[in-house]
Amino acid sequence: MAKVVIENLYKIYSGEKGREVTAVDNANLVIQDREFVVLVGPSGCGKSTTLRMIAGLEDITKGDIFIDDVRVNDVPPKDRDIAMVFQNYALYPHMTVYKNMAFGLELRKFPKAEIDKRVRDAAAILGLTDDMLERKPKALSGGQRQRVAVGRAIVRKPKVFLFDEPLSNLDAKMRVQMRTEISKLHTRLATTMIYVTHDQVEAMTMGDRIVVMKDGVIQQQAAPLEIYNNPANAFVAGFIGSPAMNFLNGTIVEKSGDLYFAEDSAANGALLKLEPEQARKADAYLGRSVIFGIRPEDLQDRLYVANSDPGHTFSVTVEVIEPMGAETYLYLTTGAHSLISRSQVQLKVEVNSTIELVANIKRAHLFDAARKSDFAKPNGELDTDKWHAACPLIF
Amino acid sequence: MRLTTPTTVTVKAVGREKLELPKHLFVLAVLAIELLPFYMMLQISFKNNVMFNANPWLPILPGATLVENFRFAYHLILPYAANTIFVSVTAATANLFFAILAAYFFARYKMPFSNVLWSAFLTLMLIPSVTNIVPLFTLLKKLNLLNSLWGLIAVAVASGQVFNIFVLRNFIEDLPRDLFEAAEMDGAGHWKQIIHIVIPLSGPIIGTLFILSFLGCWNDFLMPLIILRDPQLFTLGVGLIYLDGDYAKDWGHIMAAFFMASLPLLIMFLFTMKLFIRGLSAGALKG
């Protein structure tokens, strides 16, 4: 049990031809005792590097890490009293499961009886049978191996648990099962846990708090639903949530005293009337480029919505229909933008038909669009993620 | 239809067998050439000079000569074999010990100019060992290691380093980095990582390198010839050439001694062949 504090943390690698690559850029984070924090972001966002710096496996270029108010920058990993579960399990292939779990305690010269008790307790918690304890890791399934890896961490009773994408090598079913088991384990052990994943579903379901990273920069840190409902910028909005939030590029226009979002489109683009509260916030952006964001569940076929406001309705063409049983995904296009609608009913629509879509405008978001030309890749294409990260939330 | 299908298969199989036969003959011929010296050594060790001159090629039934030849060889070889075993085991063990430490460093740690250091180190492999003989001799003389088994061991340990480190470094680099990091988190320092991770996981390759180092020392002729003076310090390589008498060669004695000298290696190879082959092919496949 421990509080972990990260202050002004940087990790800079020297790349090819002396070019420097900033993997972690001025990260600041306070992880409370017993908190379950999930670092999430796309590949190369610096989440694993941050975790590895907390573990002591990576040198810190600049900044400080404190565990229980002790600065640990120069403390070797073995003396930080933390345990880590690796993506590839990192089980010692030549040792039995028992020995794998006992290894850390043996090195720390624990009495044999104590080691045996702790290993068997951990095995019981994780559902590892006595027979499994005598097997080598190669004789176990992926899920069982991951359990052993977790077991190896919990026998040490460390102050902090670190998980580096521990479920990404498991199949979908096992991933869901292990996800709940790790959550249960957190409740049971009541220990600080820091969990790295690129899977936003894991982040949403497991963490007390989510830290979204992109290009080494922390984009937002908040409780899962807070991030879902109030994303700090368009990148966070697009990254958290599945299917991802729909984005329409456009401008704020005024019509008969009301403010509208007008989609950038050749003809008949969406024109959506903003709510008074939203209009007040958007007023300063009149005539400026903005990004309109709306989640798939907030776009519904007009035929299935009672009392729909014509100001919140626009036409789209159906491209693909995905009936999932409990819900239906519609892949749509306005002509200029692709959209996804998620509906709880089994819709009766046809591909290539045009339907009227109603936006639940109260739950829509507006982002201040940064200049696209500043976010071009070397090949001239727009780096959408980078651009979105530079588009802050207006409402 | 049911009859024709098996017929086709049979024809194909016979065709393949016909192709296989020349291959088999070729392999057998190569094997015969390889085994010829061994055969000659064995069958001559059954004979004395009179028998050998009368019938140099064909084997004879073992008789009293065989016992006499091998008794002679046994007494002659025993001290040489003891020296050779001492030198080979000590040198191969020390060789591997230092090579593992160096390979671990080169594989796991990058420091400024470590690539330059590694390249410089590898160029040592390109220098023919014979070119070092004179400076080596002078060095050993200054260190007072001439005419000593320790001198021989020191040279064997030093000269085997580059190759062993080269092989081991590549092998250790291929071990998953996570394992070392997991061990580090578990509380293992460098020594413990070497003992608990590197050595167990590099078993086949370490075994192979040990065998190669051991063979190198066992078969070495040049260094013992230069370093050793006293006959009681001789290893097998030098010891056996003194059998080559000044005026007459006793072929039966010579061949019996040669046979006995090669016997430990044969036995060792038979028992370690699986390990040896596994080591040679290690890293060929991932997984």
Residues of chain A falling short of pLDDT 70 = 1
| Dist CA A389 CA A218 (whole Å) | 10
Tell me the residue type at A152: R
| Dist CA B137 CA B134 (whole Å) | 5
Segment B240-263, tens digit of pLDDT = 888 776 677 889 989 999 999 988
Paired tokens of B158: 């030093």
Query: The domain A4-238 is classified under which CATH number: 3.40.50.620, 3.30.530.20, 3.30.950.10, 3.40.50.300?
Result: 3.40.50.300
pLDDT score for A308? 84
Going from N- to C-terminal start, the domains of chain B cover: 6-44, 65-286
With beta carbons less than 8 A apart as the criterion, state whether A33 and A4 touch.
no
Q: Look at strands A271-273 and A258-263 and give their pairing.
A: antiparallel
Q: Do A84 and B181 touch (CB under 8 A)?
A: yes
Band of the pLDDT at B16, cuts 50, 70, 90? low
With tokens 């972001």, the residue in question is A41
Select from A77, A89, A91 the Cβ nearest to the Cβ of B184. Answer: A77
With beta carbons less than 8 A apart as the criterion, state whether A289 and A253 touch.
no
| Dist CA A339 CA A228 (whole Å) | 18
Over chain A, what HEC string results?
Answer: CCCEEEEEEEEEEECHHHCEEEEEEEEEEEECCCCEEEEECCCCCCHHHHHHHHHCCCCCCEEEEEECCEECCCCCHHHCCEEEECCCCCCCCCCCHHHHHHHHHHHCCCCHHHHHHHHHHHHHHHCCCHHHHCCCHHHCCHHHHHHHHHHHHHCCCCCEEEEECCCCCCCHHHHHHHHHHHHHHHHHHCCEEEEEECCHHHHHHHCCEEEEEECCEEEEEECHHHHHHCCCEHHHHHHCCCCCCEEEEEEEEEECCEEEEEECCCCCCCEEECCHHHHHHHHHHECCEEEEEECHHHEEEHHHCCCCCHHHEEEEEEEEEEECCCCEEEEEECCCCEEEEEECCCCCCCCCCEEEEEECHHHCEEEECCCHHHHECCCCCECHHHHHHCCEECC
**Count of CB atoms situated within 10 Å of the CB of B90:** 17
Nearest-CA distance from B193 to chain A in Å?
11
Paired tokens of A328: 């239906």
Residue B15, pLDDT > 80, answer no
Give the residue among B175, B210, B204, B211 at the shortest CA–CA distance from B279: B204
Select from B179, B181, B185 the Cβ nearest to the Cβ of A92. Answer: B179
Residue B169, pLDDT > 80, answer yes
| Dist CA A183 CA A190 (whole Å) | 10
Q: Is the peptide bond before A243 cis (omega within 30 degrees of 0)?
A: yes
* Residues sharing a CB contact under 8 Å with residue A241, sequence separation 6 or more, in sequence order: A200, A228, A295
CATH topology of domain B65-286: MetI-like fold (1.10.3720)
| Dist CA A102 CA A155 (whole Å) | 8
pLDDT score for A297? 95
Going from N- to C-terminal start, the domains of chain A cover: 4-238, 241-389
Dihedral of the alpha carbons of A148, A152, A157, A160, in degrees to the nearest 10: -90
Residues of B in contact with A94 (CB under 8 A): 200-201
Interface of B with A (CB under 8 A): 176, 178-179, 181-189, 192, 196-197, 200-201
Paired tokens of B222: 């040049």
| Dist CA A165 CA A185 (whole Å) | 16
| Sheet with strand A246-255: strands edge to edge | A271-273, A258-263, A246-255, A289-294, A365-368
Select from A82, A90, A94 the Cβ nearest to the Cβ of B182. Answer: A90
Q: Do A93 and B201 touch (CB under 8 A)?
A: yes
CA distances (Å), A144 to each of A135, A152, A308, in order? Answer: 11, 12, 52
Residues of A in contact with B184 (CB under 8 A): 57, 76-78
Residue B6, pLDDT > 50, answer no
With tokens 């933390």, the residue in question is A82
Nearest-CA distance from B201 to chain A in Å?
7
Q: Could you give the angle at which helices A142-154 and A112-126 cross, rounded to 10 degrees? A: 140
With beta carbons less than 8 A apart as the criterion, state whether A27 and A11 touch.
no
Residues of A in contact with B192 (CB under 8 A): 107
Select from A78, A92, A94 the Cβ nearest to the Cβ of B184. Answer: A78
Residues of A in contact with B201 (CB under 8 A): 93-94
Q: Do A104 and B186 touch (CB under 8 A)?
A: yes
Handedness of CA A132, A138, A141, A143 (dihedral sign): positive
Global pTM reads 0.84
Residues of A in contact with B185 (CB under 8 A): 55, 57, 77-78, 82-84, 104
Band of the pLDDT at B3, cuts 50, 70, 90? very low
Residue B18, pLDDT > 80, answer no
pLDDT score for B185? 93
User: What is the length of chain A?
Assistant: 395
Residue B63, pLDDT > 60, answer yes
With tokens 């990273």, the residue in question is A213
Band of the pLDDT at B271, cuts 50, 70, 90? confident
Residue B130, pLDDT > 60, answer yes
pLDDT score for B245? 67
With beta carbons less than 8 A apart as the criterion, state whether B74 and B45 touch.
no
pLDDT score for A352? 94
pLDDT score for B278? 72
Nearest-CA distance from A13 to chain B in Å?
13
CATH number of A241-389: 2.40.50.140
